[in-house]
Amino acid sequence: MLYWKRLTHAEMDQRISAALKENIDYNTKICLGIPASKLDPNVFSDQASFLKDAPLLRAYVQNPNHIGCHTLGDSEYFFKGTQQIERDVIELLSVDMLHAQPNECDGYVAAGGTEANIQAAWIYRNYFLREHNAKQNEIALIGSEDTHYSIAKAANLLNLNWYSVPVVAHTREIEEAKLEEAIIKAKSDGVKYFVVIANMATTMFGSVDDPDLYVKVLEKHELIFKLHVDGAFGGFVYPISVDKTKLNFTNPHVSSITLDAHKMLQAPYGTGIFLTRKGMMEYAYTKEAQYVNGMDITLSGSRSGANAIAVWMILFTYGPFGWLEKINKLLYRTDWCCEELNKLGVRYYRHPKMNIITLRAEDIPEKLAWKFGLVPDKHTGKPDWFKIVVMDHVELDHLQQFIYELEHVIRDINVAQ
C-alpha cells in the first residue's frame, strides 16, 4: 500500500483540524463575494462542547463547498484545506484499492453511485462527439439486464439508446451469443460507439461481469468503445475479497470506475465516488461556469466537503488490514447462511466473493420475507427473487433466526403435503 494505513483518532483529528484552518473562517475574514457560509449558528452552534472531539461534525458546521474536481487544475481557494483531503481519498482509492499508477486518475466524491454512473456516460458521450465527430444517434450504452437503473436514467437524460443484454437466470452471466445479438442489433440501428457498463457486483444479485467478453465481441466487430465499471456495491468488497481481477485500472480497457461509500463503507448517504483516467474529466467541462475557479466539471456542482472527510476517516480508521478483517467477517456470515440454505434445499444465487444472497421467491414464503426485511426484485406484481445483504448490522444471530423460522415453514409445508 502506497497511501493507505491506519491512523489514531488523535492523528486524524490533527489532520482534519489543520485542513479546516486552511479553509475560509467566516468569523475572522471578511469575504463579501462568496455565496456560502457556515451552517446557521442559530440552529447549529459551533460552540457546542462535543464538537471538540468530533472533527467530522466540525467539518459539517464549517460547511466546505467542494464544487469542481480538485485532482486537476484550479479550484476555489476558500476551501483548499479540505479539498486536499478529497484529493488524498481519490488517490488512495485509485492506487491502493484499484491499482492505478500514482497520479494516473482524476475523480471526485459525488452525491452517490447514480451520479457517478451518469457522469461516466456524460463524459464518454462528449468524448465520442468531439473526438470522433459522432452523431448523437450513433452512441449507445450497453450492459447486462442486471445493471443498475442509473444507466437507464443516464440514457434518458443524455438521449442515448440503452441496450440491455439478457443473462442466464441461475448464473447471472452474459452469454457471448446474446451479447453479439445485441451488438448486431445496435449496429443495424446505426450505432458505432459504445459506452460499456461492466458490473462489479450488481445491486440485486451481487453478480460480477467479465469485461473481457465485451472487449472480445466489440473488437470482433471493429467498434469503438469506452468501458466503465460500476462498483457502486462491490467496490469496497470485491477488490478485497479476490486476489486478481480485470475490473480495475490494471486493465487498459477500463476508463472509469464508480464506488459508493454510503453502502459498504457506511459513510453518510449522498457519498458516491467517481474515478477516471487522466484526460477524461475535461470532456465534462462547463465553460459557462466562469465565476467558479477552475470551472465546474461535475454533474452535481456544489457538494459537501464533509462527505469526503467522512470517507477519509473511515479508510484511515481501519487501514487496509482492518478493512480486510471486516470484509472477511461479512463473507464468513454469508458463507454460513448459504450452507444452511443448502441444507434446506432453498435455491439462491450468490457470487462466492460477495455478501449478497438472492433467493428464489418460490422457495421463500412472502410473509417471512417481509418479516425479516428481505428486498424483492420488484414491487409491482409477484417477485421472482428476494435478497439478503449481509451488512455490518446483520449478525449471525439474525441469520440463524431467519433460517430457524424458514426451516419450520418448510417442515410444515412438507407435512401438509
Least confident of 23-37, 158-172, 248-262: 23-37
- Residue-wise pLDDT tens digits, 210-244: 999 999 999 999 999 999 999 999 999 999 999 99
In this predicted structure, the answer to whether residue 170 has a pLDDT above a threshold of 80 is: yes
- Residue-wise pLDDT tens digits, 6-37: 999 999 999 999 999 999 998 888 888 888 89
Mean pLDDT estimate for the chain: 95
SS3 call for 287: coil
Question: How much is the pLDDT for 49?
Answer: 87
235, containing H or E segment: none
- Closest by CA position to 255, among listed 338, 327, 197: 197
Q: What is the arithmetic mean of pLDDT over 325-338?
A: 98
Question: How much is the pLDDT for 295?
Answer: 67
Q: What is the arithmetic mean of pLDDT over 59-77?
A: 90
Q: What is the arithmetic mean of pLDDT over 136-155?
A: 98
Dig out the grid coordinates for 328 from the structure: 472477511
Query: Taking the model in full, what pTM does it have?
Result: 0.95
Give residue 34's identity as a one-letter amino acid code. Answer: I
10, containing H or E segment: helix 9-22
